[in-house]
Amino acid sequence: MSPTPLKVAVTGAAGQIGYSLLFRLASGALTGGAPIELRLLEITPALKALEGVVMELDDCAFPSLAGVEIGDDPEKIFDGVNLALLVGARPRGPGMERGDLLSANGAIFTAQGKALNKVAADDVRIGVTGNPANTNALIAASNAPDIPKERFSALTRLDHNRAISQLAAKTGAAVTDITHMTIWGNHSATQYPDLFHAQVGGRNAAEVVNDQEWVESYFIPTVAKRGAAIIEARGSSSAASAASATIDAARDWLYGSAENDWVSMAVVSDGSYGVPEGLVSSFPVTTKDGDWSIVQGLEIDEFSRGRIDASVAELEDERNAVQELGLI
């Protein structure tokens, strides 16, 4: 008998990220080919477009796709889901920061948090991609009091992957030689991609690069502002790379991160590294069997401390703003 399919909800399924994400999920990229059932949530006016996407999913005849359900009612779509990928939200346009989306998108995550609280499976994990991702995860978690807060995370894996790619290009190493990369803080222009703990072929990345000017003036801003550069070039925000990172993050969370390495995930802070408890902030984490733990004991020098603190201060401002809006 084939195993019970993993029930995965995707919100905003008719959007640009959805158009890449659904086909990767259905082809087995998350489950390694084990059966997956897709539960796709959209707003009512987008359901017709979503029907077209489902026709295309059918036409791929993916062996691992065990079923697809679509709808506009979160309580129906989230019923019994083991994983919810919350992608659906308005993207930013040119000249906007992701934080500008707080009030527009915050309400979506209040309603979805409540629905997940009511109907999701007991083992549910919730990954938030929709921006501003960290604070949307905080909103969803705050509205789902029966789901442990550790089950919510926000996506900084795209930033993590961007940082790996930039470091590989600079050093001539293969991406597979880059390990121990960390994104700290918010998925925003204040994020801190940290080269001081990263490694290239087992050697300290900052020492291999040996160019603090490149780190400060090129590497950090290129990674932190990559989303804006893509919007500028493409006219719309990153989609296929965001879908790919959403899968990388979910796969590692459910099935475990690589031995002798770590990944970046925005998770609820327990106070580690001076990040106030309760904020959803990106940390170096290892994952195993659906649980994550923050890597402990890393030395944080003055430069890194300043960068982490600046991003965390922005997260505190976002938390205050959504508190004032009554969303948490």
Ligand X SMILES: NC(=O)C1=CN([C@@H]2O[C@H](COP(=O)(O)OP(=O)(O)OC[C@H]3O[C@@H](n4cnc5c(N)ncnc54)[C@H](O)[C@@H]3O)[C@@H](O)[C@H]2O)C=CC1
Say which of 160, 180, 187, 197 is annotated catalytic.
187
x/- track of binding to ligand X for residues 26-45 (CB under 6 A): ---------------xxx--
Q: Does 140 bind ligand X (CB under 6 A)?
A: no
Structure-token pair, residue 9: 């909800």
Q: Could you tell me which of 158, 173, 161, 157 has the C-alpha nearest to residue 209?
A: 173
Q: Among ligand X, ligand OAA, none, what binds residue 42 when CB lies within 5 to 8 Å by partner kind?
A: ligand X
Residues 214, 187 contacting (CB under 8 angstroms): no
| Residue 16 annotated in ligand binding | yes
Interface pick for ligand X out of 108, 140, 249, 254 (rule CB under 6 A): 108
- Output the smallest distance, CB 266 to ligand OAA, in A: 12
Query: Site map for ligand X, 307-326, x if CB under 6 A?
Result: --------------------
Q: Is 297 left (phi over 0), alpha (psi -120 to 50) or beta?
A: left
280 beta partners: 268
Q: Which stretch binds ligand X (CB under 6 A): 27-35, 173-181, 236-244, 295-303?
A: 236-244
- Please report, as ranges, the residues that interact with ligand OAA according to CB under 6 A: 91-92, 98, 131, 158, 227-228, 230-231, 237-238, 242
Please report which helix (H) or strand (E) contains residue 243, including its range: helix 240-255
Q: Nearer Cβ to ligand OAA, position 158 or 279?
A: 158
Q: If contact means CB under 5 to 8 A according to the sort of partner, which of ligand OAA, ligand X, none does residue 129 touch?
A: ligand X
Smallest gap, in angstroms, from Cβ of residue 93 to ligand OAA?
9
Torsion on CA atoms 246, 21, 132, 85, rounded to nearest 10? -70
DSSP structure class, residue 181: -
What is the Cα–Cα distance from 56 to 302, expressed in whole angstroms?
A: 52
Strand partners, 71: 41
x/- letters, 167..206, toward ligand X (CB under 6 A): --------------------x-------------------
What are the distances in angstroms from CA 150 to CA 232, 274, 293, 294, 326? 35, 18, 10, 11, 22
197 catalytic per annotation: no
> Tell me, what DSSP letter sits at residue 282?
E
Q: By C-beta, is 7 or 92 nearer to ligand OAA?
A: 92
